[in-house]
Amino acid sequence: MSLYHDTLQLLQEMIRNACVNDGTPDSGGEVRNAESLAKFFEGTDVKVQRFEPHPGRVSIAFTVEGSDPDAEPLTLLGHTDVVPVDHTKWTVAPFGAEIRDEKIYGRGAVDMLFITATMAAVTREAAKRGTRGTLTMVGLADEEARAGLGAGWIHQNAPDAFSWKNCLSETGGSHIPGRDGSDTIVVNVGENGAAQRRLTVSGDAGHGSTPYGRDSAIVKIGEVARRISLAHRPMIDDRSWQIFVKAFRFDEELNESLMRGEGDFHEFGDLASFADAFSHTTIAQTIVRAGSAINVLPSTASLDLDIRQPTGVSQEDVDAMLTEALGDMADQVTITHLLTEPATVSAPEGPLWDAIVETYGEFYPDSDVIPIFSTGGSDLRFARYAGGKGFGFALHARERSLAAAHSQLHSHDEHLHLEDLNLTVRAYDSLIRKFVG
């Protein structure tokens, strides 16, 4: 069978394994996808490593030892878990891996099992022919819950298990159509950090039948939420943002305005929210807690914020931003740090970046290739923590814009065009041949 069909069969199996990660330690069950990968590599001369920090939460690595110890290594980081589904919103079986109209449907089809399956298939092929540089493919657990039982655990507990020097993961290879008919291919070179916060206020406890004159914690947290929604979020000062804006080929006046953050971001169309998250710290108000019984006035209320900060914004900067937004309420609000991680970025230069640009040029010779930041998290940040390079890599047909690719992430009826699977397989195979031989 062809490399593409092997990849498709593995992708279908991985979708059907339904390794759903709801954020709790006993969810995920990535052991099922680890076993599928182990079976896929049977009969090849690869080094296999298995990591299981919690029962069922298995990551697995397959290493092809290169013939030249001085050659550049390459590590492919593919996660094997997927996010939950709302079954009532799907029109197809979310774990059926059904193919309709040249598209494969299923949770994880895009995020990111099609890339993970591709990584496995091209690594197996490389193992059969041998490589000059060492090649490792890792099927990672727990990416969808910040990787504490996956890449994060390996980085902390087994940092030398494989090389972090040159890493590929999700995602890249979608397109920005310029207003002049031009085409630009994007590559994720960095990602925003995490600055999760819990804001807590106090109020008067009491019986629900006598609220008069009471200091309501719920009213107070509502005002906190209103003020936070109006927080001033400074614009980033980064050349990648300027390159991103220029890819749309706006007229010169609008181009300059948007680069300064003064223009109407609706000009970016379906990418308006992405553009905002690319260029600013984002503050999402996600969880409110107060009260336990309907007839009791709660003495406290809290608001959880999912904050993602770009490079150059520190945790102290985030706290100052919140304090400024709270104004004269600041001394009534306790700010608690939850998960915090710095933003990370890999400079778009060096042999791996050059190989990515060259590979895209083989498929789309008239397209530009530009670096962008991911607004969410990925396992690539651990490569950067380790001092290595981390880039997103896949390839979509020109009709699949960045907006179209993003629309499938965690969506109902998540699906991947089979054309894009074929392109990604061919692109990975080409890149690996030129990079590790």
* Residue 209 pLDDT grade (very low, low, confident, very high; cuts 50, 70, 90): very high
What are 204's strand-pairing partners? Answer: none
> What are the structure tokens assigned to 199, written together?
């804001």
Distance between CA atoms of 79 and 379, rounded to whole angstroms?
Answer: 8
CA angle, residues 23, 27, 30, in degrees to nearest 5: 110
pLDDT tens per residue across span 139-176: 999 999 999 999 999 999 999 999 999 999 998 999 99
* Residue 1 pLDDT grade (very low, low, confident, very high; cuts 50, 70, 90): low
Residue showing tokens 């074929």: 422
Mean pLDDT of 342-352: 96
* Residue 413 pLDDT grade (very low, low, confident, very high; cuts 50, 70, 90): very high
A 10 A CB-CB count for 198 gives 15
pLDDT tens per residue across span 381-391: 999 999 999 99
Phi, psi (rounded to 5 degrees) for 253:
-65, -50
pLDDT tens per residue across span 16-45: 999 999 999 999 999 999 999 999 999 999
Distance between CA atoms of 393 and 115, rounded to whole angstroms?
Answer: 8
CA atoms within a 13 Å half-sphere pointing along the CA-CB vector of 37: 33
Q: What is the pTM of this model?
A: 0.94
Mean pLDDT of 256-283: 92
pLDDT tens per residue across span 48-80: 999 999 999 999 999 999 999 999 999 999 999
Residue showing tokens 């990111």: 112
* Mean pLDDT of the residues in the chain: 96
Q: Tell me the Ramachandran region of residue 146: left when phi exceeds 0, alpha when psi lies from -120 to 50, beta otherwise.
A: left
> What are the structure tokens assigned to 146, written together?
């910040």
**Residue 14 pLDDT more than 80?**
yes
Every domain of the chain with CATH number 3.30.70.360 lies at 194-341
Handedness of CA 230, 235, 236, 241 (dihedral sign): positive
pLDDT tens per residue across span 363-372: 999 999 999 9
Q: Which amino acid is at 182?
A: S
**Residue 375 pLDDT more than 90?**
no
Percentage of the chain beyond pLDDT 90 is 94
Every domain of the chain with CATH number 3.40.630.10 lies at 3-178+343-435
Q: Which amino acid is at 152?
A: G
Mean pLDDT of 326-351: 97
pLDDT the model gives residue 68: 97
pLDDT the model gives residue 44: 96
pLDDT tens per residue across span 101-127: 999 999 999 999 999 999 999 999 999
The domain covering 3-178+343-435 belongs, at the CATH homologous superfamily level, to: Zn peptidases (3.40.630.10)
pLDDT the model gives residue 132: 98
**Residue 319 pLDDT more than 90?**
yes
Handedness of CA 186, 188, 193, 196 (dihedral sign): positive
Contacts 24+ apart (CB under 8 A), 427-431: 427/173, 427/359, 427/360, 427/363, 427/393, 427/394, 427/395, 428/118, 428/119, 428/122, 428/393, 429/3, 429/122, 429/125, 430/359, 430/362, 431/168, 431/355, 431/356, 431/359, 431/393
Q: Which residues contact 57 (CB under 8 A, 6 or more apart)?
A: 25, 28, 30, 31, 141, 142, 149, 150
Per DSSP, 158 falls in state: -
Distance between CA atoms of 368 and 364, rounded to whole angstroms?
Answer: 9
CA-based end-to-end distance of the chain:
23
CATH 3.30.1490.20 for the 194-341 domain, yes or no: no
Name the helix (H) or strand (E) containing 336: strand 334-341
pLDDT the model gives residue 367: 98
Distance between CA atoms of 135 and 188, rounded to whole angstroms?
Answer: 21
> What are the structure tokens assigned to 290, written together?
């107060």
pLDDT the model gives residue 384: 97
